[in-house]
Structure 1
Amino acid sequence: MYSSEKSDDQKSTPASSATTAPATGTPVSSAPAPWSSGLCDCFTDLKSCCLTFWCPCVAFGQISEIVDEGSSSCVLNGAIYALILYCTGGCQFWYSCCYRSKMRGLYNLEEGPCGDCLVHFCCEPCAICQEYRELESRGFDVCIGWHANIAKKNRELAMPPVVQEGMTR
């Protein structure tokens, strides 16, 4: 397996020298992190709980805009969610579970308590509510969307620090 002879593609590439470390097979990324709140912690945030229960298409649209980092619209994704919900009688979980998977990938969150589609199939409101709370725990104001969140963060970074009165002579 480790021979001293170079293969044809190693001979032609001067960059592959002794300074290149061999692949070890160990993953570079760390283990997935737990969610900031549990799947059934809906009542810890009544605002997101009520929004998710009464207007799931709005809550989903807001989440999807942030997960897509502004490349899609809250209104468009919410409308697609509502259309799937009302036309199929409940198969919107196929659409929303894709965003849960995407969100887990972005923030390196663990898959649990079961697969993403099964979570959305069994308890869609709880899953959307958990995703909403996760984004809020990461500093997003989910109601204002991606672009307004970025503008808000940029304003906070651009503000000079407040200087307090120090000692006087």
Structure 2
Amino acid sequence: MSKMVVNQPQPVMDSQESDEWGSGICDCCQDVPECCFAFWCCPCFACITTRDYGQCLCLPLLDMFGVVPPVTMSMRVSMRQRYGIKDTMCRDCLFATFCNSCSWCQMSREMKRRKIQVLLVGAKNT
């Protein structure tokens, strides 16, 4: 009699280094090409960052329909929760509204710094 062993996928994470953002909202000099891309074509940059985060590629395009960009703010809140970063929704709202490009750059830098990858594997019985 043979047994089939199936391992469920587990997220692969680095250790949590800090409960603060790894860079400030205006630390664009840490990755100049990325910040130039975000400044000149923020919708494209936001879509790519959202895709790399594991969400729908076109989700940031919904930000064009509101005063406070809901997707940018939601991504900041989600990222803070995923990485254990302490901050406030008020600051997320302010950064999403008044520093949109810088906010997306900060989130992208954080993803690179934390290097948290979630690997999802599907198993099929044949």
Task: Say yes or no: TM over 0.5.
Answer: yes
Q: What runs of 5+ residues in structure 2 fail to find an aligned partner?
A: 1-15, 121-126
Alignment of 1:11-160 (within 5 A): 33-67=19-53, 69=54, 72-74=55-57, 76-78=58-60, 80-81=61-62, 84-85=63-64, 88=65, 91=67, 93-111=69-87, 115-139=91-115, 150=119
Report the Cα distance in structure 2 between the residues aligned to 1:125 and 1:117, rounded to whole angstroms.
13
For 2:5, the equivalent position in structure 1 comes to: none
SS of the residue corresponding to residue 26 of structure 2 reads: coil
Q: TM (normalized to structure 1)?
A: 0.52
2 CA distance for matches of 1:92 and 1:51? 22
Provide the C-alpha distance between the structure 2 equivalents of 1:135 and 1:109, rounded to a whole number of angstroms: 12
- Structure 2: distance between partners of 1:47 and 1:138: 20
Deviation at 1:63, TM superposition (A): 2.2
Secondary structure at 1:133 match in 2: helix
Cα RMSD between the aligned structures?
3.0
Q: Which has the larger radius of gyration?
A: 1
Deviations 1:78-114 (CA, angstroms, capped at 9, x unpaired): 4x24xx42xx4x7362221011101111111121695
From the superposition, tell whether residues 64 and 92 of structure 1 become closer, same or farther in structure 2 (CA, over 3 Å).
Answer: farther
The answer on whether the counterparts of 1:96 and 1:120 sit within 8 Å (CA) in structure 2 is yes
Higher relative contact order at CA 8 Å, sep ≥6: structure 1 or structure 2? 2
Report if the CA contact (8 A) 1:42-1:126 is conserved. Answer: yes
Post-superposition offset of 1:66: 3.4
Q: Which runs of 5+ in 1 are unaligned?
A: 1-29, 141-145, 152-169
State percent identity of aligned pairs: 27
Return structure 1 stretches of 4+ with deviation > 3 angstroms: none
